[in-house]
Amino acid sequence: MNNRIIPVTLALIDSGERRRLESIIGASPMVRLLDDDADEMGVLIYEPGPNVDEDMPQIIHALETGQAEDVYLAGRDADADVLIRGMRSGIREFLRYPVSEEDFRGAIMRTAMRRSLSEPDGERGRLVTLFGAKPGLGVTTLATSLAWAVERQAPGSAILVDLRRPAGEAPYFLDLKHEYHWGHLTEDITRLDATYLKSVVATHPSGLRVLPAPPGPDRPDPQSLHLILEQLRQCFECVIVDTAWPDDGELPREVEQADHIFAVTQLTLPCLARTARLLEGLRGQAPDAGRRLRLVANRVTRDGSITVEEAAEVLNKGVFLSVPEDGPAALSALNQGVPLIQAFPKSPASRAVARLARALAPKREKARKGIRLPFAGLFGRKAKAGPEAGLAEAAS
């Protein structure tokens, strides 16, 4: 994370709170207080007063033009209208009086994190999110096998993140013992950096890194999850998330931020009906989701009454990947605590996942020249082909 000293400007009405913040700033090595006539503004801490209607357009302009690095609202009570105007304009913090050192430090750390993540200091890894239209569709089986296969294709590149609620199960599929989970990161998100993140991550014998879920039904708050996912993308080339669509229907951050979204369904009428409703809701919340979303039909049988083509017609979207039914192999792999693709690499289901893994895995330079690996350019084709064409080929 960027460790520069962040400048702070105070625009406060309450003189007591101004003295309190001046004292907190003076004791912190992370920040420095600017004079009122300074050329720069840094982080502006503003207390709305009688002239708020006149001040807010100027403050928002300063934020949008970069004159202000960040803006925090402050006060004893949060005016709902002012907060809404601020949130819509990119103001993310509110410091309630009396301001505590902990609250101030947390806000400054989040500013530093957002700045660090926005700086072009290297390529960000791909975020790949898998979720099911309903529980019990085999999403965790697919996610663990996909992550394992990507790591095998490109050692050191992949991490599996378990965001499944009400209880994460990825460690059972990998027979993975772990001490920490993402709940430890959210306990003090202000500490989050690459070193702290990697100290929490568990390592599978294959080399695959895993960020397990804590016990209980809670999810990270949206801001903490955003920071965790973005930090993961700074550390790993392929971040694979096993999740479930929330019951409240709200767009999850791991879907909103994903580069590739895989919605898993089965070829049954109830499941297809639920998938159709889910896709409709997703398109309403994220208009660009169609570009990033691919349908995966799991546990497809040869004698099923509904075909892949019929499912695509019902859902008004082509099925990107068809994974054949292989229940005995999947159950055996789970009971062994081994990814399906590792335990039964020649299984039809494993072969389908392997094709996807080859497309997603970061490409490594090969010593021999003149040989083109299968699917070598699927995610990096020339503009003429486009990502849709490459991905469609990977699933064929």
Q: Which pLDDT tens digit goes with each residue over 209-245?
A: 999 999 877 888 887 888 899 889 989 999 999 998 8
Domain boundary, last residue among 87, 118, 149: 118
| pLDDT (0 to 100) of residue 202 | 95
Residue 1 lies in a domain: no
User: Across-strand partners of 293?
Assistant: 261
| CATH code where residue 108 lies | 3.40.50.2300
Domain boundary, last residue among 118, 145, 163: 118
40 shares a domain with 178? no
What is the DSSP code string of 302-350?
Answer: TT-SS-HHHHHHHHTS-EEEEEE--HHHHHHHHHHT--HHHH-TTSHHH
48 cis-preceded (ω within 30 degrees of 0)? no
| pLDDT (0 to 100) of residue 29 | 74
In angstroms, the CA 354 to CA 266 distance is: 20
219 shares a domain with 91? no
In angstroms, the CA 163 to CA 203 distance is: 17
351 shares a domain with 245? yes
| CATH code where residue 331 lies | 3.40.50.300
96 shares a domain with 145? no
50 shares a domain with 137? no
Residue 247 lies in a domain: yes
| pLDDT (0 to 100) of residue 4 | 60
* Percent of the chain that is helix, strand, coil (3-state, to 5): 45, 20, 40
In angstroms, the CA 248 to CA 150 distance is: 32
Q: Write out the two tokens for 39.
A: 């050329």
Burial annotation 260-287 (CB, 10 A radius, 16+ → b, else e): bbbbbbbbeeebbebbbebbeebeeebe
In angstroms, the CA 360 to CA 372 distance is: 16
133 shares a domain with 108? no
Residue 228 lies in a domain: yes
Residue 329 lies in a domain: yes
67 shares a domain with 154? no
How confident is the model over 311-367, as pLDDT tens digits? 999 999 999 999 999 999 999 999 999 999 999 999 999 999 999 999 999 886 654
| pLDDT (0 to 100) of residue 236 | 94
| pLDDT (0 to 100) of residue 110 | 80
User: Across-strand partners of 128?
Assistant: 240, 260
133 shares a domain with 106? no
300 shares a domain with 221? yes
Burial annotation 72-87 (CB, 10 A radius, 16+ → b, else e): bbbbeeeeeebeebbe
Q: How many domains does the chain have?
A: 2
Which residue stretches of the chain have pLDDT < 70?
Answer: 1-4, 113, 115-122, 190, 364-396
Enclosing domain of residue 130 = 126-395
How confident is the model over 225-235, as pLDDT tens digits? 888 998 899 89
Domain boundary, last residue among 90, 118, 146: 118
| pLDDT (0 to 100) of residue 221 | 84
361 shares a domain with 275? yes
232 shares a domain with 109? no
171 shares a domain with 35? no
Residue with tokens 């700074």: 234
| pLDDT (0 to 100) of residue 376 | 40
